[in-house]
Amino acid sequence: MILTNIPDDNAIIGDDIGILQDIHLKTKNIAIYQRGTESWMKGLNRAIKWPIQCRANGTVEEITFSLNYYFTNSPHLNESLLEDILSLLELFEQVTKSSFFRVLLATVNTNMCRRFHADNNELRMLCTYYGPGTLWLPDYAVDRKAYLARKSNQTILRNESLVQQVDTGDVVILKGALYPEAIPILHRSPSIEENSGERILLRIDTNESLKLLK
């Protein structure tokens, strides 16, 4: 059983887009912007019929060019979805103050990350456009010693009923292990293989290491 909307000191959750800026607060390691069903969702019926696999690295301008090219050559993807992705990329740039990013837009039909884990980066933005959203743990639900010892999910979890889940379409920013002086959020992908499920996932990471390539 998954319980939602339980207040927790390490999470900031609300329907004001400005809360995403609060990810920089020392006590927060996850920010969730809860937004209603957007216009782009109406066009996803066609999108789920063809596999999506789009990756782009670089500045916002470089990634925008790559995404425009991909969407131009993918008639099953609608313009409103592209506009939403680009707006989220610009928002992530404002929140992170970074200059370089890695973007993945993909159809997912595997469980991806089965174990609760922290990302090896500073910040990550996720939006599940179709299918179940990301699972995450309040800090009080985590046995950090078990996690660091690479124990199983059952051992890491203090209580399985405390697992939280981001709603489809909501925007989440996660603190990773490289964020200065942070306790990174533990999260994992939802289980979908068992039911032959599918997701359309947007993932944006900060990637300051790309400066070395310029």
- Residue 2 in domain: no
Local confidence pLDDT in tens for the 214 residues of the chain: 344 445 458 999 999 999 999 999 999 999 999 997 666 676 677 777 788 999 999 999 999 999 999 999 998 888 889 999 999 999 999 999 999 999 999 998 765 677 889 999 999 999 999 888 999 999 998 888 988 888 888 888 888 888 999 999 999 999 999 999 999 999 998 876 666 678 899 999 998 644 433 3
- Residue 1 in domain: no
Q: In one letter, which amino acid is 17?
A: I
Segments forming the whole domain that contains residue 86: 11-213
Q: How far is CA 96 from CA 18, 47, 50, 174, 196, in A?
A: 13, 30, 32, 11, 35
In the chain, the number of structural domains is: 1
DSSP assignments along 121-133, one per residue: SSEEEEEEEES--
- Residue 129 in domain: yes
Determine the Cα–Cα distance for residues 206 and 45; give it in Å rounded to an integer: 30
CA 95, distance to chain mean position in Å, is 14
The pTM of the whole model exceeds 0.85: yes
In eight-state DSSP terms, residue 73 is T
- Residue 126 in domain: yes
Instruction: Provide the CATH number for the domain around residue 74.
Output: 2.60.120
- Beta strands in 160-211, from DSSP E residues, in sequence order: 164-165, 171-175, 187-188, 199-206
- Residue 131 in domain: yes
- Residue 62 in domain: yes
- Residue 6 in domain: no
- Residue 112 in domain: yes
